[in-house]
Structure 1
Amino acid sequence: MKLGVFTVLFGQKPFEEALDYIASKGLDAVELGTGGYPGNAHCDPDALLSDEGKLKAFKQAIASRGLMISALSCHANPLHPQKHIAKDSQDTIAKTIELANRLEVPVVNTFSGCPGDHEDAKYPNWPVAPWPPDYQEILAWQWEQKVIPYWTETGKFASERGVKIGLELHGGFSVHTPATLLRLREAAGDVIGANLDPSHMWWQGIDPVQAVQILGRAGAIHHFHAKDTSIDPINVNKHGVTDMQSYTLMLDRAWQFRTVGYGHDMKTWADIISALRLVGYDYVVSIEHEDGLMSIDEGFTKAVQNLQQVLVREPLTEMWWV
């Protein structure tokens, strides 16, 4: 396995300065934002796709520091009911897939998106209960008319360019659990897989080790994010896991994102890494830092230090003791 970082947390730094800092921490890979919610501070598809010289210099800047690109990420809502928002997201995803092909990056990460509840809706509608039956009708319409058709077409577009799609399982979007990912993968093909982030499993009540097992046995983990979550035992009983309070209200929230090791102990993280290896995932573990209690540098540095303890780097050898 290799250790990487989602570079959006260094978006305030010039690109090469950010690369120097990342390389100084002993990392192997970078995951780059190309638009959507992450922005494109370091990787603008329009600029790179239109200028071969810029593309070549971009690749050289990364390779010269001993780094690789693990994924291009353009998290957005390509199924948004407001058509101009959906189109912007879809265009960004398509350009990112094209750029991944040109850069020989195997994975593009994004969200599945979430439609509205009918063709003329204005806002996304995320059904989370099977009753009253209206929700089942909404869910069926969303998947049959929006989710499956879009991702079947986009998956084919990506597959033709040698690129896989890593959907982040995130609340608020149609694909948010191992089951919903596997449902879409069955309909749209193996090009669809997970950008598995354990932080979003924990707050939904899903054990990330079991999520790794479920998805890994299906060969459905295309990329992996390293981010932690802490659950407040009092606040969760007040607000539930679907706490709608702002992330800034950390003292009152039911749960919050933490850097690796500050929501769950290192034995838990060792179990996650071991499960990844057990199911054959031997790619990049990409740090995503969204810890409101730590600065960017401290949160990132602690995540690196903690993951270095449990990451399994060397290739498997023969079981000499068998």
Structure 2
Amino acid sequence: MKLGVFTVLYGQLPLEEALDTIAAKGVEAVEIGTGGYPGNKHANPHELLADRTKLEAFREAVASRGLTISAFSCHGNPLHPQAPIAKAFHDDFMATIDLAAELGVPVVNGFSGCPGDHEGAKYPNWPVAPWPNDFQEILDWQWSQKVIPYWKEVGQYAAERNVKIGLELHGGFSVHTPATLLKLREAVGDVIGANLDPSHMWWQGIDPVQAIRILGRENAIHHFHAKDTTIDPVNVHRHGITDMQSYSNMLDRAWQFRTVGYGHDAKTWADIISALRLVGYDYVISIEHEDGLMSIDEGFTKAVQALQPILMKEPLGEMWWV
């Protein structure tokens, strides 16, 4: 396994300065935003693909610091019911696939998207209850008419270019649990897998270790985010896990994102790392920093310090004691 980081936390720095800062922490891999909600401050795929000189300078900036690119990330809603919004997200995602293919980056991360509830809708609709029956009808229509057809087309395009798609299981989108990820994977193919982030499992009441085992048995984990979550034992009873308050309202929220080790202890994270190895995931653990109680540098540094002692870096040998 390698330790990596999602570079958007240093989006305020020029690329080379951000890479210097990251490399100095002892990190080996970077996940770079290329559009959508993370933005493209460090890698605009349209510009890089159009200018070979810029592309080679980008490649050299990463390689010269001993880093590898674990994934490009283009998280958006390509199924948004407003066509111009959907098209912008889609165009960035497709350009990101092309950029990944050009540079030999094996994974492009993103969201599944969430459609509206009918063809003329203006806003996404995320059904989360089976009754009244209208919700089931909406969900069936979304999957049969929007989610599966879209990802079949995009998945084929990516597979032809030897690029895997890592969908983040995130509330608010059609794919948000291990079951919904596997449902889409069954319909589209193994080009679809998870960019598994335990922070989103915890707030949904899902044990990340079990999520890893469920997805890992199907070889359906393409990438992994390291981010923590705390559940407030008082506020959760007032607001529930679907708390709609702003993330900035940390004192009153039911749950909040934390840096690694500030939501769950080292044993829990060691269990997660062990589960990943158990199912054969031996790729990058990519730190995502979204802790509202820590500065960017402090949160990132503490995550590195928490993960470095528990990562398993050496290849497995034979069980000499068997």
Q: Aligned equivalents of 1:152 and 1:126: distance in 2? A: 21
Runs of 5+ consecutive residues of structure 2 not aligned to the other structure: none
Q: Aligned equivalents of 1:103 and 1:39: distance in 2? A: 19
Spell out, residue by residue over 1:179-213, the C-alpha distance to the aligned partner (whole angstroms, 9 max, x if none): 00000000010000000000000000000000000
Partner of 2:182: 182
Q: Once the 2 structures are TM-superposed, how far is the Cα of residue 47 of structure 1 from its aligned partner? A: 1.2
Q: Aligned equivalents of 2:15 and 2:60: distance in 1? A: 12
Partner of 2:92: 92
Partner of 2:296: 296
Partner of 1:76: 76
The secondary structure found in structure 2 opposite 1:136 is: helix
Q: Once the 2 structures are TM-superposed, how far is the Cα of residue 53 of structure 1 from its aligned partner? A: 1.3
Q: Aligned equivalents of 1:57 and 1:316: distance in 2? A: 36
Spell out, residue by residue over 1:56-76, the C-alpha distance to the aligned partner (whole angstroms, 9 max, x if none): 111111111100000000000
Partner of 1:133: 133
Q: Aligned equivalents of 1:153 and 1:44: distance in 2? A: 23
Q: Aligned equivalents of 1:279 and 1:238: distance in 2? A: 37
Q: Once the 2 structures are TM-superposed, how far is the Cα of residue 320 of structure 1 from its aligned partner? A: 1.0
Q: Aligned equivalents of 1:287 and 1:294: distance in 2? A: 14
Letter paired with 1:231? I
Structure 1 residue ranges, 4+ long, deviating more than 3 angstroms after superposition: none
Q: Aligned equivalents of 1:65 and 1:318: distance in 2? A: 34
Partner of 1:206: 206
The secondary structure found in structure 1 opposite 2:309 is: helix
Question: 1:60 aligned to 2:40?
Answer: no
Letter paired with 2:137? E
TM-score normalised by the chain length of structure 1: 1.00
The secondary structure found in structure 2 opposite 1:309 is: coil
Q: Aligned equivalents of 1:12 and 1:245: distance in 2? A: 26
The secondary structure found in structure 1 opposite 2:247 is: coil
Q: Once the 2 structures are TM-superposed, how far is the Cα of residue 176 of structure 1 from its aligned partner? A: 0.1
How many residue pairs match? The answer is: 322
Question: 1:114 aligned to 2:100?
Answer: no
Q: Aligned equivalents of 1:41 and 1:87: distance in 2? A: 20
Letter paired with 2:210? Q
State the identity %. 79
Spell out, residue by residue over 1:135-175, the C-alpha distance to the aligned partner (whole angstroms, 9 max, x if none): 00000000000000000000000000110000000000000
Partner of 2:232: 232
Question: 1:317 aligned to 2:317?
Answer: yes
TM-score normalised by the chain length of structure 2: 1.00
Question: 1:194 aligned to 2:162?
Answer: no
Q: Aligned equivalents of 2:240 and 2:311: distance in 1? A: 33
Q: Aligned equivalents of 2:119 and 2:22: distance in 1? A: 45
Spell out, residue by residue over 1:15-39, the C-alpha distance to the aligned partner (whole angstroms, 9 max, x if none): 1011111111111100000010000
Partner of 2:166: 166
The secondary structure found in structure 2 opposite 1:294 is: coil
